[in-house]
Structures are given as C-alpha cells and as structure tokens.
Amino acid sequence: MFYQHTPSSRFLLGTAGYPSPAILQQAIETSGTEIITVSLRREGSAGGAFRELLQQLNTRILPNTAGCHTVKEAVTTARMARELFGTSWIKLEVIGHADTLQPDPFALVEAARILCAEGFQVFPYTTEDLIVGEKLLEAGCEILMPWGAPIGSGQGLRNIEGLKTMRAWFKDVPLIIDAGIGAPSQAAQAMEMGFDGVLLNTAVAKARDPVRMAAAFSAAIAAGHQAYQAGLMEQRDMAAASTPIFGLAQFS
C-alpha cells in the first residue's frame, strides 16, 4: 500500500525519453501500470499536448523533482507540481553528485521534513543506507525508494546484501526499487527479494521496442512478486536429489 493506495500493479513507469507520444501511451497501457512519474520540467517543455495525453491515461500521476540539487529547488518544484497536477504525491529527488546522480542525504531529509509538514505524501529517492532511511521515516515519509544503481545505468542491483538488509530492517515499510534497473530479470530479482515495487524509465523508453519491453517488465515484476509470495527454495552448498531413493529398483 502506497499512502492508502493499493495498486494492482507493482510496476511504476517513467514518461521521459520515448520516441513519440503514441509509443509512450502504448507502453503505459501495455505495462498495466497504475502509477506514472512525470517531471515538472518535462511537462513544462512538452506543453499542452503532453498534458492532454496524461489526462487520457487511466493512471495516477506521481510528479517528481528530477534535476533539483538543493532543498529550495526541490521544495519549490514540489509545490508547483501540486498546483499543476492536483496531487499531494511527490517523488522527491535532491541530487548531490553530478556523475552518479546519487541523492544528497542531508538535503533529502531536510526537504522531506518540509514537504511532509506541508501535507505532501513523499516518495523519497534514496540509497540503501539504513540511517538515512530512519531519518526519512522520522521526517514523515511512509515509503522509501532505494536505488538499485545510478539512474539510467542499467546495472541492476549493485549492492544485493545492502538491499537485503534494508528489506529486513524496514520489514513493515513499503520499499520500491528506483533507478538503475536495465533488464526484466533484474526487476524480477528485486521482487523476489521482497520489495514492494519497481520504478524505471530508461530501460523501457530507450528499448528498440518500448511497448514490447514494457510488457516484458510487467510480466517479470508480477512473476518475481508471485515467487516471493510462494516462497523461494533456499540455496544449498551441495546437491540434493529431487527423486527419493526409496522404492527404486535394486540391481546387483
């Protein structure tokens, strides 16, 4: 559940970088996603046509503060997004490192505290750091969005153990993997670890066939979640025969 909203799909999809508005629309519809992220800067540059497209889609908009590097920028952008899109949801990004696009944890927590106090329902883009996670929850966030890898890198889950620890530590907090996912298998892996959703953009938008890739990610995310719910077998150091010995014919 994401702030009292329980979507049927655990796939959150970004809307930037698609070859055309028509392909974007087809990808969203094929993905089955109920939540799409929209940058205020993207909406502003595209104008009314993009806004009309968003209104046609049966999805919930999660505006984001992409491109913001300071608390002031992020808070101002969030306030503008609330006015434009009519939602208190905000994906909070405060970038601290130009090359990796890693979030600035100090500015992120400060911005989250301000926005939560103003009634925003904040989806913070963060790292797998447990202390930062605790501070974000203390600030009023009810969900955490740790990165898998740097934005747009397609490297998948670079810190498996760290993410597993985060999942175990925040066992009652919705966790969504955000950024770095490049293949459906990586998304399935995140869901098999018990994460509550996956948010991605580039892996679909820049695929040779974005619509087909959206379908692939949708299936992988659903399969990964189903596998987690079913209970994955534990890994063993040695082989273990799946066929029982009892009842086999004896030859001498």
Known binding positions: 152, 179-180, 201-202
Write out the DSSP string of 26-61: HHHHHHT-SEEEEEHHHHHHHTHHHHHHHHHSSSEE
Binding residues for 1-deoxy-D-xylulose 5-phosphate: 152, 179-180, 201-202
Residues sharing a CB contact under 8 Å with residue 154, sequence separation 6 or more, in sequence order: 180, 181, 182, 183, 202, 203
**231: its two tokens:** 């209970």
Strand pairing category for 197-200 and 176-178: parallel
**Active site annotation includes 91:** yes
Residue 20 CA to residue 33 CA, distance in Å, equals: 19
Q: Angle formed by the axes of helices 184-192 and 210-230, to 10°? A: 20
Marked catalytic residue, from 91, 135, 171, 206: 91
Contact 81, 51 (CB under 8 A): no
Catalytic positions, written as ranges: 91
